[in-house]
Structure 1
């Protein structure tokens, strides 16, 4: 699959993968801080952003999408960073194609299995009748019945676009809803990536726990963990300056 992406900056390539319900645009402010040091490739994963939609949606196909993207761009080896779902894609890619990853950064996700915990978000998104709503305010009012956190609603509504016929989702909502268990899958046993790997964890997030360190060691023997203070799961949005500092320290 040919993925949509944005390219900016110069020097060594750094590929960034967004998380579930997100897009490349979520990382634009971070990229602006990093473009003096790297050539940034902000990639929309399949069924997200402006990349194509498909009934196939798993880490296996997303890894192959990423390989195809690197091949098309002539990128033999890159720095690779992913957040949440994008972090799982990045981990799976690094294990399957370790020679293509010079250094790996994983933002607030561990190699283990995560149970489905997006039910209310999916209920809210599926409650929106896109043919009936007339404004983003109306969409937000409906979503608020399911998702009280304004910041999360604003993030989700970034994937609500408009064409000549009205509102449309950039995400492939039916496929994501049907296959939501795919996003929580653990890394498969047997492989490992022995290049430098940095796990960035939000101090206020429960996505990375002490019990995850054994898994990190098993799959990524050359790993380190840094906690971002006063940050939850969306650490790049909550503490962008601290995240940029950690990324630069690790890659430089």
Structure 2
């Protein structure tokens, strides 16, 4: 079942679809979206089970890419470039492979079309372990997470998913579906297809998500791929080095216009 995704829209011009990563939402790209808004109509989506989009028991790349394909078709904006970070980058890649008629270029940010061993499931367990009905304030929930997630920056990022409704706190992210589908999220479907359009892979030089051994898989599926390194950046390269990421995006989008 294709879900109708929530989104934010910034700017005017040629459309650009932006997809966030696991635990994220459209707001993660707000600053870069505003900066690109002079030349592009930036549509940042909340993927299923995230942000303000509907929940579903299904959480795999064919389903997530199907949602994005439906969005592009409903809004009449295809073919257009699709930018995605981490999980969102895998959604963008799978969409390009399956529906190249909707994608004029693909931009995966710090992710390759390969399976990963990930420690992120521990965050899901930590968030589910918090008994939200015991708390009334966000600070209390963050303090409860501190025992299992000591990194303040990561806690702050995860806390963006905590909302208050009717005097009660709840996670707006579908933790149960993510936990159940975690192997699918960290994996990548097998395919004999390739995408012949332009592709820019952004690589944080302090991240291990794009490694030399991943390049054959990238080149096989995306023969026109270019890999550009973002200096002094880890996995959340758009938050750590937004100016570098913006320059790389502006240059690439200008080339394919």
Residue 195 of structure 2 is aligned with which of 187, 193, 198?
193
What is the match of residue 98 of structure 1?
A: 100
Q: Superposed, which structure 2 residues align to 1:68-107 within 5 Å?
A: 68-107=70-109
In the comparison of the two structures, how many residue pairs are matched? Answer: 252
Q: CA RMSD in A?
A: 0.9
Contact 2:117/2:186 (CA < 8 Å) preserved in 1?
A: yes
What is the match of residue 29 of structure 1?
A: 31
Q: Superposed, which structure 2 residues align to 1:8-19 within 5 Å?
A: 8-19=10-21
What is the match of residue 241 of structure 1?
A: 243
SS in 2 for 1:192: coil
Contact 1:81/1:104 (CA < 8 Å) preserved in 2?
A: yes
What is the match of residue 214 of structure 2?
A: 212
**After TM superposition, where is structure 1 displaced by more than 6 Å over at least 4 residues in a row?**
none
- Aligned-pair distance for 1:66? 0.7
TM-score (norm 1): 0.98
- Aligned-pair distance for 1:115? 2.3
Contact 1:201/1:208 (CA < 8 Å) preserved in 2?
A: yes
Contact 1:115/1:181 (CA < 8 Å) preserved in 2?
A: no
Please list every run of 5 or more consecutive structure 2 residues that lacks an aligned counterpart in the other structure. Answer: none
CA distance in structure 2 between the partners assigned to 1:164 and 1:53 by the alignment: 20
- Aligned-pair distance for 1:120? 2.1
What is the match of residue 228 of structure 2?
A: 226
CA distance in structure 2 between the partners assigned to 1:29 and 1:150 by the alignment: 21
TM-score (norm 2): 0.96
CA distance in structure 2 between the partners assigned to 1:166 and 1:134 by the alignment: 7
- Aligned-pair distance for 1:134? 1.8
CA distance in structure 2 between the partners assigned to 1:128 and 1:178 by the alignment: 18
